[in-house]
Amino acid sequence: MVRTIIKTLLKLILYPFRIIIKLLISFFKRLKFSIAFKISTTYVLLYIVIIMIAALTTTVGYFLLEIRKFENTVITNDVEYIVKNFPEVRNIKVRDSDYNSVEIYDENLNTYFSTGRHGKYVSSILLVIEKILFDNEYIYSGAFSYRNSDYYLNISYPVGEILKDAWRISFVVLISGALGLLFIIPIVVSTSYKLIGPIKNMTEITKTITVNNINTRLDIKDAQDELKELSQTFNEMMDRIEGGYKIQQQFVSDASHELRTPIAVIKGYVNMLDRWGKNDKAVLEESIEAIKNETDNMQDLIEKLLFIARSDRSTLNFTKEDFRIMSILNEIEKETKMIDKEHKLYFDFYHDAIIYGDKMQIKQAIRIIIDNAMKFTPPGGHIMVSGFIEDDYYVIKVKDTGIGIKKEDLDKIFDRLYRAEESRSKAIGGHGLGLSIAKIILLGHKGKIRVRSKFGKGSEFSLLFPYLQSQF
Ligand code: ADP
């Protein structure tokens, strides 16, 4: 009951303070102080705290030292005198000493003798401190024996002078601390601003970066430690962004270039038709055939570009289902045999497996690899397609005895619109997008592509798809 009343009373008393603290916190939160200001304030506050601690310790230290000196001289003499003259101490007041009062208590702590000031025996340090602070009085406490009985002694001394000196010392320390603050503040402020300078510089430079000056980098020289690391990381990030941006730009320019050729061809034929084709049947037929080819070519290119763009924008959707890989492998075998009469074709599907994936896309990826084998293998060459299980993957391997790929081209053939020198000079069709698309499809199925090739001898492409269930 009493407790709850006290609690509510305390709450009521503290309520205004809590409101003030809350208001102050929200006020400071709203204020957007700069980091330099915050660092400076923290250091200045730290300095003030240190000065206050220094003032306190020197004051207390001085006081304790003086009291110890006093105890060793005056107090020891007084105690000796009292003990020596005990119990005849009634004339004690006559003695020339500095004390305020003397109290002697018997074994039961009842007053035995008193010059008339204290009521109770004082021995606790807290009481002693209280007396020092509020009454400017130091109370010595001690005990002695007389005829087998214990007696307790309290002597109180005025310590106003010592205290005054102690406060003076504290005042001097505080004043010198305050003077020091005048020197400290400009140093702390300038150091903090110097420390933060690189960040400001970074912000200014970062603000100016656009696609037009994407090669701008932060100056690492005057940054230090973590800021240097931050600038370095930022610069590395910009390198990556710039790299990606350049690839994208190159891709756009290459794609436009690829589209320019069929359009130029179509335009040429249209002009020819315009001039002579209306009456010349041979020109008419040739032009229609060429325009048809070129539009097919363009359509193929645009569809491939759209596929890649969808993948870049992450809007490419795979319609995945469980299906037997053999079902599409058989279809591919039939189709290839139908369209390719120029090469010796071998199909060996050793195992079957259930795969979770987009049937159409997986078929497209395999087609891309087989089409390339057909394109880059001279007539009469061999193309071997096999299917089997290897560890956690179903592998579709396409091996040809074609023109092969140079070592330096091997890591570039998956780049968009990249075609090796040989395939371009031999005027073999293609836009250099097939393998990029195959790679996108494989990655979308958590699969892998492996290539091995010997220039002039042939190539071997393996598509690896993770499978759900094997069927031997
Ligand atoms: P393309 O439409 O030109 O075939 P791809 O992306 O499919 O585009 O292939 C990129 C390049 O990789 C080809 O231009 C060719 O230089 C090389 N390449 C791909 N497959 C083979 C292969 N089986 N034999 C030799 N070179 C190949």
402 lines ligand 1 (CB under 6 A): yes
Classify 346 as helix, strand or coil: strand
The C-alpha angle 24, 27, 29, rounded to 5 degrees, equals: 110
Task: Say which amino acid occupies 82.
Answer: I
- Indicate the top mutation candidate among 303, 376, 421 to test ligand 1's pocket, ranked by most ligand atoms within 8 A of CB: 376
Cβ atoms within 10 Å of 128's Cβ, excluding its own: 18
In this predicted structure, what is the pLDDT of residue 15? 85
For residues 251 and 417, the answer to whether their CB atoms sit within 8 Å is yes
Which residues, 6+ apart, have CB-to-CB distance to 67 below 8 Å? 138, 159, 162
435 lines ligand 1 (CB under 6 A): yes
Mean pLDDT of 407-424: 87
CA–CA dist 61, 236 (Å, integer)? 58
Find the 15 Cα to ligand 1 centroid distance in Å: 79
36 lines ligand 1 (CB under 6 A): no
Q: How far is CA 390 from the centre of its chain?
A: 40
358 lines ligand 1 (CB under 6 A): no
Q: Which helix (H) or strand (E) holds 52?
A: helix 35-70
In this predicted structure, what is the pLDDT of residue 353? 95
Ligand 1 atom showing the smallest separation from residue 435 Cα: 6
370 lines ligand 1 (CB under 6 A): no
Find the 259 Cα to ligand 1 centroid distance in Å: 19
70-89 residue pLDDT tens: 889 888 888 888 888 888 77
- Indicate the top mutation candidate among 435, 436, 437, 453 to test ligand 1's pocket, ranked by most ligand atoms within 8 A of CB: 435
CA–CA dist 191, 177 (Å, integer)? 20
Task: Say which amino acid occupies 290.
Answer: A
In this predicted structure, what is the pLDDT of residue 282? 84
Ligand 1 atom showing the smallest separation from residue 433 Cα: 6
pLDDT at 94 > cutoff 50: no
In this predicted structure, what is the pLDDT of residue 330? 96
Q: Whose CA is nearest to atom 19 of ligand 1?
A: 372
pLDDT at 95 > cutoff 60: no
In this predicted structure, what is the pLDDT of residue 281? 83
Find the 467 Cα to ligand 1 centroid distance in Å: 27
Nearest to 333 by CA among 387, 400, 375, 402: 387
Which residues, 6+ apart, have CB-to-CB distance to 1 below 8 Å? none
In this predicted structure, what is the pLDDT of residue 275? 84
Find the 120 Cα to ligand 1 centroid distance in Å: 107
Find the 46 Cα to ligand 1 centroid distance in Å: 70
362 lines ligand 1 (CB under 6 A): no
Q: Whose CA is nearest to atom 9 of ligand 1?
A: 432
DSSP state, residue 146: E
Beta strands in 290-340 (DSSP E): 321-324
Mean pLDDT of 113-121: 77
In this predicted structure, what is the pLDDT of residue 376? 94
278-307 residue pLDDT tens: 778 888 888 899 999 999 989 989 999 999
Q: Whose CA is nearest to atom 20 of ligand 1?
A: 372
pLDDT at 96 > cutoff 70: no
- Mean pLDDT, the chain, whole residue set: 88
Domains, the chain, in order of start with CATH, read: 34-195 (no CATH), 225-311 (1.10.287.130), 317-471 (3.30.565.10)
301 lines ligand 1 (CB under 6 A): no
pTM (2 d.p.):
0.60
CA–CA dist 40, 230 (Å, integer)? 22
How long is the chain? 472
In this prediction, residue 393 has a pLDDT band, given cuts at 50, 70 and 90, of: very high
Q: Which residue has the higher pLDDT, 255 or 401?
A: 401
